[in-house]
Amino acid sequence: GSVDGNRLWGKELNLQLAKVQWSPDARVILFCTTHGECHIYDSNGNAVSKLSTKQLQGGGLSNYIVGIDWYTGREGIPQDYEIPVLALCTDTGRVQLMKHENDDQPIIVDTKMKVNGIKWNPAGTVLAVFGQQHVATEPGPSSVVSFYSNMGYHWKTLRVPGAGISSLSWEGSGLRVSMAVDSFMYFANIKPPVPWGYMNGTMVYAYHRPERSDHCLTFWHIERGERIIKFMKRFLGVMACNQYCVILTRNHEAEHSSVLLCNSIGSPIETKVIPFEGEFLSISNTFIVVTSKTMVYIWNFKERATKNGSGTNSGSENIRSLLEDESTFHIDDKPSRSYNKTQISDKKTTNPISCICVSDSILLIGRENGTIH
């Protein structure tokens, strides 16, 4: 119907409907059924197609869609930017993130929760997933809100007292959330992670400006008070050490990343392309390490400088004794000199990588079950 109360069209869909969602540009309407299906109709009520939800299936006997949210783009990232803006979630905790309704390569996240609903923040950069989760130290399920980036990376989980969260809403600034729990209202401050690093008297940090689709990287020379601003598309992370910083971005190609070695004014020194999408990043005076949940990439970026007579590599023999200048290997494999930068494995793991840290002689890799390599 229209805003003046006139009926425009009506249709019997012969579906057991559970959720409905307009697209932000009013082109299409999504109808989700109680059986986990999602049907696409145009604004005139004509069936267009069925949204693929095959990858949402699993994780339990039920596949009831409990949440669907399509970010409008009004206060941040435009709709035509190549990042996920459409989110669907089943009660078994599987979340599907899509760039548009016809996206054939969605991002699937298993939150391991019994989900009640989902909600984008006002900038479309963080998705709040709220529901219940079993914790080993608790006799019963706990009420939690898990926060994920728009690329599906888990940021933090907030535990809330009470039997269950029935609804959640973001404040306009995106820095607070309110939650309805039983007969109570809870408010929580949300501190978004800010990627940053310090090198040779210069601090580099990244943030998102609502009026732009890319990230703003600021190189702030603290003593002189000078700021150099650069804009980076498909930004994933930044870290710094001594004289250099490393910037990680998603590549145009699917499941590839670019690693940029930069100086203190943000000028690129060298760029490498790795055959997977990086999630964790670390840098020392000698090594740059990028990992996904399963793959590890190590770049001895000082090796070339040493060969040219412009640097030293003392203290890095422990890592370099096993690896070449660039090496890629699966976390469940033993690294050796037989590995090279082009080697990639699609092998899964039951114990994904959760964090990394590298020095000039030691690489530490933490995994979800508490193991440290």
Q: What is the reported pTM?
A: 0.75
Per the model's pLDDT, the better-predicted residue between 138 and 148 turns out to be 148
Give the residues across from 40 on adjacent strands.
30, 49
Contact (Cβ atoms closer than 8 angstroms) between residue 220 and residue 203: yes
Query: Mean pLDDT throughout 34-45?
Result: 87
Rounded to a whole number of angstroms, the distance between the first and last alpha carbons of the chain is: 60
How many C-beta atoms surround the C-beta of residue 298 within 10 A? Answer: 24
Q: Is 320's pLDDT higher than 60?
A: no
Report how far apart, in Å, the C-alpha atoms of 209 and of each of 32, 72, 206, 217, 279 are. 33, 16, 10, 10, 22
For residue 77, name the pLDDT band (cuts at 50, 70, 90). Answer: low
Contact (Cβ atoms closer than 8 angstroms) between residue 83 and residue 34: no
Mean pLDDT of all residues belonging to the chain:
84
Say how far apart CA 97 and CA 79 lie, in whole Å.
Answer: 14
* Tens-place pLDDT, residues 254-311: 678 999 999 999 999 999 999 888 999 999 999 999 999 899 999 998 755 444 434 4
Query: Mean pLDDT throughout 41-60?
Result: 80
Contact (Cβ atoms closer than 8 angstroms) between residue 300 and residue 287: yes
For residue 337, name the pLDDT band (cuts at 50, 70, 90). Answer: low
Query: Mean pLDDT throughout 323-344?
Result: 70
For residue 134, name the pLDDT band (cuts at 50, 70, 90). Answer: confident
* Tens-place pLDDT, residues 190-215: 988 889 999 989 999 998 776 777 88
Query: Mean pLDDT throughout 29-40?
Result: 89
For residue 92, name the pLDDT band (cuts at 50, 70, 90). Answer: confident
Report how far apart, in Å, the C-alpha atoms of 107 and of each of 79, 95, 240, 354 are. 17, 8, 29, 18
pLDDT (0 to 100) of residue 83: 81
pLDDT (0 to 100) of residue 314: 45
Q: Is 110's pLDDT higher than 60?
A: yes
pLDDT (0 to 100) of residue 323: 53
Contact (Cβ atoms closer than 8 angstroms) between residue 251 and residue 257: yes
For residue 89, name the pLDDT band (cuts at 50, 70, 90). Answer: very high
Say how far apart CA 254 and CA 235 lie, in whole Å.
Answer: 15
Q: Is 97's pLDDT higher than 50?
A: yes
Q: Is 169's pLDDT higher than 80?
A: yes
Contact (Cβ atoms closer than 8 angstroms) between residue 142 and residue 132: yes
pLDDT (0 to 100) of residue 98: 92
HEC assignment per residue over 267-330: CEEEEEEECCCCCEEEECCCEEEEECCCEEEEEECCHHHHHCCCCCCCCCHHHHCCCCCEEEEE
pLDDT (0 to 100) of residue 310: 40
Query: Mean pLDDT throughout 116-121?
Result: 94
pLDDT (0 to 100) of residue 309: 38
For residue 11, name the pLDDT band (cuts at 50, 70, 90). Answer: confident
Per the model's pLDDT, the better-predicted residue between 344 and 18 turns out to be 18
Q: Is 30's pLDDT higher than 60?
A: yes
Contacts of 126 (CB under 8 A, 6+ apart): 120, 147, 148, 149, 150, 155, 174, 190, 192
